[in-house]
Amino acid sequence: MNYMTAEEKARLEEQLKALIDRRVELSDRIGRARKHGDLKENAEYHTAKEDQGHDERKIRDLKAKLATAVVVDDTNVPAGMVFIGATVRLRDVKTGEEDLYRLVGETSGSMDADYIEVTPNSPMGMALMKAEVGSTIRADLPHGAKRFEIIEIQ
């Protein structure tokens, strides 16, 4: 199962629709490239076929994610508890450094956000899930275990 917010599911559905709509364009590109002759050395043809394969792979992946998607209902989550969709300010117990983390079902891939996205299946996500403000969590990260205090949920 893929737990995600309603917004994340809608974003995936939009991506899927855009890729499906693009099929006609790619098919036309392949058809035009075929008219140029010898397919062995036809870079335009090979590029269009690669783009088509890439898009079809993404379509399959998105369909699989959406087929197992479970939209979380955060209406019954107690106040002060971390759940999917929550943005949390954490303080590293050792260094005192603070960072914002957002527990997401599906990462956006954006690096522009003011927070770090973590999924429930990641070490940080597992440590955060259902933790409460004021508690200290331990996350077994690739560079070793770290402890964080949950300062606030925004």
Q: Where are the domains of the chain?
A: 2-71, 74-153
- pLDDT, position 13: 96
The correct CATH number of 74-153 out of 3.40.50.1360, 3.10.520.10, 3.10.50.30, 3.30.360.10 is 3.10.50.30
- pLDDT, position 40: 73
Residue ranges of the chain with pLDDT lower than 50?
Answer: none
CATH class of 2-71: mainly alpha
- pLDDT, position 1: 74
Structure tokens at 8: 């994340």
- pLDDT, position 39: 74
Q: Is the pTM higher than 0.85?
A: no
- pLDDT, position 98: 94
